Chain A
């Protein structure tokens, strides 16, 4: 089996989530951050009346690039080489690590500086380098916090979102040499990080970055950031290695425009983020004089091969879907067990690893299917639809399980009113021994899977139908007002024999 690096969840999502949801501090931090970004985002998006058309164009631009991916990558390779850079192809995480490690070894590097990059987390680059005696220093403030605390990132954009200032103060006091006692003020903590890292920027000979986009036509690689650490890393060292997933390539320079409109507003809720760097191979006299671009597959071609799941590769890692997701807000990034958390992680991770992976294939269940992720996605990935699609794929893998049987039974019971009422009566009587307090916390036998992830409310003594029949007659017999229908969410597909999809209303699951 090939090595997938940091993609792989160590446990199924329901187990991991159960451990995380009880952490009150984590939930409080997460709620504050996701809600703040969410509101700011809505404001800056509202400034552009053509936002919906920009999304459509963004999606179409990525699709066009993916439809010609091999041509685009070959063109990118040529352009980068024509500008004096090197291009490497990596089938999996291990190959990518090997390439970076060999470049470092060729330069005798003992230390290198890094721009925040999920792709490098995906291939577990830091660990691999450490094993060879090469120390990779994270230069993004949040990544530095994560690295110093031997933790894992919990959010794509704000990886240390789960830590508050007091925790960071204690960490810096213990870990940053020569800083003395720091106060818990964010400005003072950021200043301490600045002093610590500045020396590294000015003296380190090699840097590693990810890439937000790469332009096939011109060989231009792009890094989008806020702090300036990215500019430092891609400008000051002598050697630069950028690792990018193969799906990041665009065709022409002009294609970058729509993403520079979509990404910052979706991501940090700014009209534009403070710094974007673009470079093409090597520029004599300016910046690194040796440049390597690593093109990484690591499961992406699995995703590409699925006509329906392919849209997942449009993702530009803005993290907007995380910030609106009620499941992410409660469970936190670590519950997903992979470097890709939240709604995008719930569809990307199992597809990259393949649906036979029994931990990853629990991730499509990590959703309430409320549709908020689809509404915010700047490249219109229909995450709820892909989730449903993957759930059905996972069920196909499992064959006929107790859950599948139970669903069949439910369909039989609910298709006729009298059967449904009879079943309710039975349930009210039958549940007696299972109710503890006001919840059913564990069901017996094959149904245990349900209560492992949710507490059930017991059936009420009197159901709606009984209450309706027995209610006192209304004084004024005016016809009831029509309750306004809730806005329709995106429609999930059901896979049918011929690979076609049928529209059905979304099912509400709760965590």
Chain B
């Protein structure tokens, strides 16, 4: 990796900045209006809203108590056996008898492609939009892990579900400032490019199963 492989752009940069400065000379800046927020819902209503949105995306949803995780994960995995497990995900949450693919050392693209499913945690979730945000911490693994297998089982702690996008953006601010990538998931992969007929699953995981744990 070279530091600056295209030194000719220094001239372009100078001219571009000159053009911009000429263009915005005297432009006034107004103070930003306050951020409008939704009326807050109760905890229970937030979780209900989250479930409703997830189901609306045609993803699967289960809500369980801590002691029921293993059973819920087993049910969500269905017949999938070759399962990717990020390095930081608690093995205690996984059912026995899986062919676990630990990403340590990193799996090749071909290995990932042979996997049937992946189980991850998440960083935060948004009830209003049914969105799950991964900041690719240890229980979620690098981006490719949750991208290539056809089934993604995602474990969400009840206290990770916030109501609004704004709250979620604040929650992951520290991760972003630390340079971590983010993936926001709202349902599974989908396209509506042919006559607006929604087709589930084009390139990403075709199936998403969300398990909320309390």
A residues whose Cβ falls under 8 Å from a Cβ of B: 29, 32-33, 36-37, 48-50, 53-54, 56-57, 60-61, 63-64, 66-70, 73-74, 83, 86, 88-91, 95, 99, 102-103, 106, 139-142, 145, 158, 160, 164-165, 168, 186-187, 189-190, 193-194, 197-198, 201-203, 215, 218, 220, 226-229, 231-232, 235-236, 246, 253-254, 256-258, 260-261, 264, 268, 270-281, 283, 285-287, 289-290, 295, 297, 301, 304-305, 307, 310
Contacts and interface: CB of A to CB of B under 8 A. Distances in A.
Nearest to B20: A70
Contact of A276 (B30, B183, B188): B183
B180 interface: yes
B157 interface: no
Interface in B2-23: 4-6, 9, 12-13, 15-17, 19-23
Interface centre among B16, B17, B190 (most CB of A within 10 A): B16
Nearest to B35: A57
B113 to A, nearest CB: 6
B181 A68 contact: no
Interface residues of B, number: 76
Contacts of A289: 1
A296 B209 CA distance: 40
B166 interface: yes
B20 A304 contact: yes
Given A91-B16, A139-B203, A226-B189, A271 B36 contact: no
The DSSP consensus for interface residues of chain A is helix
Given A89-B9, A95-B12, A287-B143, A165 B195 contact: yes
A276 B129 CA distance: 13
B40 interface: no
Contact of B33 (A37, A57, A95, A203): A57
A68 B29 contact: yes
Given A106-B5, A275-B183, A283-B179, A60 B33 contact: yes
Given A227-B204, A304-B23, A83 B196 contact: no
Given A231-B183, A286-B143, A304-B23, A67 B28 contact: yes
Given A48-B38, A257-B165, A301-B19, A228 B147 contact: yes
Interface of B: 1, 4-6, 9, 12-13, 15-17, 19-24, 27-30, 32-38, 53, 57, 106, 109-110, 113, 126, 128-131, 136, 142-144, 147-148, 165-166, 169-170, 173, 176-177, 179-197, 199, 201-205
B12 A89 contact: yes
A278 B178 CA distance: 13
A274 B152 CA distance: 13
A141 B9 contact: no
A143 B20 CA distance: 33
7 contacts: A68-B29, A69-B24, A89-B13, A190-B202, A218-B179, A258-B35, A287-B142
